Structure 1
């Protein structure tokens, strides 16, 4: 199918799509109502490099399904016929009867090797515990007026969720920036990581990063970089997941009306092939809002993002959904919520759109352990 073909050709498309062609594809995708104006805005103006733009176009279209993928490939045929022909897309779109396929034909037709080491597969999620879930809950600050009431609700929900998913959960309460960095360095040097590492940061924030309890800024890169392949060899090739609940500015997202279209293991195993990967591979960073805007917290129920994340990750994991599918559901769920904030003695409508970014190379599917407890 077209969406699988996009996945198979993803590296070649990221390398081959020019900025001119990307802009043409976006025009076509908007005209065909695959993308809305906000999605186009994010890709054109917030993705800093051509490769990032290409990556996001491919991944966003692929997640929208077969029809959207077919529209993109048809557009590519018109916008860049040379690349279209070079990649053999016309031939690859023609289905071959399954009974007539030999292993070599299967590789040629789909772009996939029959060797499982080369196919799009899942990250291992078998270790017990699955790994560490580290939660920073910065609820109280030097200025008492900055107290984040309701954050304990988020902390409890995350703790119950990841314990149910088989993680060892550790909570760090009201940490200064220096204490946060020390903790992150300590865990990055731990040699006993399981199959995955999760870090949740609940705090205030701005465009530059998140706040420690001392009201100093900790850049998000200082949170994630201790765990890249160069600094944490125990997690090389394994997923590193960061959920960050914090404002990223002071602007308030307004609402618009739209039509309802609802109609690898650390130990080398015998026979496995060693490959090199970029040090920043295998990251997922899901943030509660887009750059420049506030995030919304309910003092009794917790934050919109974290509560939706816990609910949808619970249900999605039961069904075997991958994390990007789940986070798309979270984006939709949070985007539909209605809120209001007091600004200069005026009550204004407020909306929130979470934003995940990732360098995952495989499907990440959290697998709950069967035990009694919160989700049983």
Structure 2
């Protein structure tokens, strides 16, 4: 086991974070791998240098032998599963098992929605800047939940996604939505599921819908369970169509042309999937569009026309989406607790949905990623294609009988 640490020494020194180093030092002190004097020496001699502290820590543990090395690897798996995986340490041999990751409750996160009050709901009624929610609307809420966990290529299996499915379903149910759930779909099956959902009988009377899709992804696409890496085309072979579902199709299937039942109703999308292969260490900020100073100034709507046939309704309106990361970057998932997007979303919604509208809730989820710093990983959730013209409130736990 000491040899295993020696093999990963260089990458460990390059990638381990200060936070992980401090936790490892606390753990090996607790296990009596080092004593207080040795711990203080590691800290004092290498003050201000993360790399030197990392070198000193791993070299100290290696010299203690295989048992000490095994215990440190177990702690690393618990403290920083991303770094553990990237170092290629793999499953631990028989020996002290890795400690169980802390549960959401142990992390101080909420597991139960705070209910809104009848007065809060009544005060929001008949306000022009708020989407109306009647008791009948509330009873007809419906959501679509799609989770891809097992893939044809086993190495693509999404460990921890079962927990995501469980957490997302509970949140949707607690918010008053009947959940239409699918697991392990191809791109074609995802498309069929969204189309079928667009004809759900409850849509006519609902105030809103939620669509939550969790899988692997690329920029603009969600991967189906039969997806495979693109092979290099040859002169004699034909390239088959990749198992990819374009996210843009959701907007078309639930837009006014294909789904008039959702006209003027809030449509909320949450998508947990990578949007590329780059690390998210450079966080992108949304660029606000520069307004056209001449548009509509001094003109009435009747004065404006185009050279196409008359449209009755906006092609895309009343949507809001939260994507797990910025364009071109990766999204991360704990192998036991599930993706960080779903963990943070559940926590924020449980604590604040009783008083905050959907845009504020999404902002708070994004804010959680500002503090997200496991190892050298960075991820920033992104609010996308927001065409809400009013504020939408969930009013969780309200007695709608």
Distance in 2 (CA, whole Å) between partners of 1:125 and 1:133 is 18
Q: Contact 1:247/1:289 (CA < 8 Å) preserved in 2? A: yes
What stretches of structure 2 of length at least 5 have no aligned partner? 1-124, 228-242, 284-311
What stretches of structure 1 of length at least 5 have no aligned partner? 1-115, 257-275, 341-348, 372-376
Paired residues in the alignment total: 229
Q: Contact 1:123/1:238 (CA < 8 Å) preserved in 2? A: no
- Please name the residue that 1:338 is paired with: 373
- Coordinate RMSD, CA, aligned: 2.1
Superposed counterparts of 1:217-256, under 5 Å: 217-254=244-281
- Please name the residue that 2:396 is paired with: 368
Superposed counterparts of 1:6-17, under 5 Å: none
- Please name the residue that 1:313 is paired with: 349
TM-score where L is the length of structure 2: 0.54
Structure 1 residues 226 and 254: alpha-carbon distance in aligned structure 2, compared to 1, 3 A threshold: same
Structure 1 residues 291 and 123: alpha-carbon distance in aligned structure 2, compared to 1, 3 A threshold: farther
Q: Contact 1:188/1:227 (CA < 8 Å) preserved in 2? A: yes
Q: Contact 2:220/2:248 (CA < 8 Å) preserved in 1? A: no
Which SS does the other structure have where 2:139 is aligned?
coil
Which SS does the other structure have where 1:163 is aligned?
helix
Aligned-pair distance for 1:279?
A: 2.9
Which SS does the other structure have where 1:337 is aligned?
coil
Q: Contact 1:125/1:367 (CA < 8 Å) preserved in 2? A: no
- Pair 1:179-2:189 in alignment: yes
Distance in 2 (CA, whole Å) between partners of 1:227 and 1:289 is 23
Which SS does the other structure have where 1:121 is aligned?
coil
Higher radius of gyration, 1 or 2:
2
Aligned-pair distance for 1:316?
A: 1.2
Distance in 1 (CA, whole Å) between partners of 2:160 and 2:264 is 36
Distance in 1 (CA, whole Å) between partners of 2:165 and 2:337 is 11
Aligned-pair distance for 1:255?
A: 6.5
Superposed counterparts of 1:147-166, under 5 Å: 147-166=157-176
Q: Contact 1:255/1:350 (CA < 8 Å) preserved in 2? A: no
Structure 1 residues 118 and 317: alpha-carbon distance in aligned structure 2, compared to 1, 3 A threshold: closer
- Please name the residue that 1:144 is paired with: 154
Which SS does the other structure have where 1:226 is aligned?
helix
Pick the aligned partner of 1:323 from 344, 358, 377. 358
Distance in 2 (CA, whole Å) between partners of 1:189 and 1:278 is 20
Aligned-pair distance for 1:151?
A: 0.7
Superposed counterparts of 1:84-95, under 5 Å: none
Distance in 2 (CA, whole Å) between partners of 1:213 and 1:128 is 34
Q: Contact 1:176/1:212 (CA < 8 Å) preserved in 2? A: yes
Distance in 2 (CA, whole Å) between partners of 1:160 and 1:130 is 17
Quick one: higher RCO (CA 8 Å, sep 6+), 1 or 2? 2
TM-score where L is the length of structure 1: 0.58
Distance in 2 (CA, whole Å) between partners of 1:370 and 1:325 is 20
Q: Contact 1:230/1:279 (CA < 8 Å) preserved in 2? A: yes
- Please name the residue that 2:130 is paired with: 121
- Please name the residue that 2:113 is paired with: none
Q: C-alpha offsets along residues 62-109 of structure 1, whole Å, 9 cap, x if unaligned?
A: xxxxxxxxxxxxxxxxxxxxxxxxxxxxxxxxxxxxxxxxxxxxxxxx
Q: Contact 1:139/1:174 (CA < 8 Å) preserved in 2? A: yes
Aligned-pair distance for 1:132?
A: 1.1
- Please name the residue that 2:215 is paired with: 203
Pick the aligned partner of 1:288 from 324, 327, 345. 324
Q: Contact 1:132/1:197 (CA < 8 Å) preserved in 2? A: yes
Q: C-alpha offsets along residues 267-301 of structure 1, whole Å, 9 cap, x if unaligned?
A: xxxxxxxxx64131000111000100000100111
Aligned-pair distance for 1:251?
A: 0.4
